[in-house]
Amino acid sequence: MDRSGGTRRRAVVLVWLLGAGLIAVAVALNISFIVVNWRAGLLLLVGVVSFVVLIGGLALNTAFLVREIRKSEQHDAFIHAVTHELKTPLASIKLYLQTLQQRELDSARRGELIDTMLEDSERLQQTIDQILLAGKTGDARRVDNPTDVDVAEVVGECVHLAGKRHHLTNGEVSLVDRLPCGTRVLGDRDELVAAVTNLVDNAIKYSGDRVKVVVEVASAGARRVAISVRDQGIGITSVELKRVFRRFYRLPDALQSRVRGTGVGLSIVRAVARRHGGRAYAESRGAGQGSTFTLELPLKT
Contact footprint for ligand ADP (CB under 6 A): 198, 202-203, 206, 231, 233-234, 236, 244, 249-251, 256, 261-267, 291
Q: Based on CB atoms, which residue is closest to ligand ADP, 109 or 279? A: 279
Q: Based on CB atoms, which residue is closest to ligand ADP, 78 or 183? A: 78
Q: Based on CB atoms, which residue is closest to ligand ADP, 173 or 266? A: 266
Q: Based on CB atoms, which residue is closest to ligand ADP, 183 or 262? A: 262
Q: How far is the CB of 12 from ligand ADP (least distance, A)?
A: 20
Q: Based on CB atoms, which residue is closest to ligand ADP, 85 or 296? A: 85
Q: How far is the CB of 232 from ligand ADP (least distance, A)?
A: 10
Q: Based on CB atoms, which residue is closest to ligand ADP, 113 or 241? A: 241
Q: How far is the CB of 236 from ligand ADP (least distance, A)?
A: 5
Q: How far is the CB of 233 from ligand ADP (least distance, A)?
A: 5
Long-range pairs for 123-129: beta carbons < 8 A, 24 or more residues apart: 123/85, 123/89, 124/85, 124/86, 124/89, 124/90, 127/82, 127/85, 127/86, 127/262, 128/86, 129/194
Q: Which amino acid is at 157?
A: E
Q: Are 282 and 207 in contact (CB under 8 A)?
A: no
Q: Are 158 and 194 in contact (CB under 8 A)?
A: no
Q: How far is CA 201 from the centre of its chain?
A: 12
CA angle at 137 for the pair 136 and 140, rounded to the nearest 5°? 90
The helix/strand/coil state of 174 is strand
Q: How far is the CB of 250 from ligand ADP (least distance, A)?
A: 4
Residue nearest to ligand ADP as judged by C-beta position: 261
Helix (H) or strand (E) holding 10: helix 3-37
Of residues 292, 296, 120, the one with CA closest to residue 195: 296
Q: How far is the CB of 284 from ligand ADP (least distance, A)?
A: 7
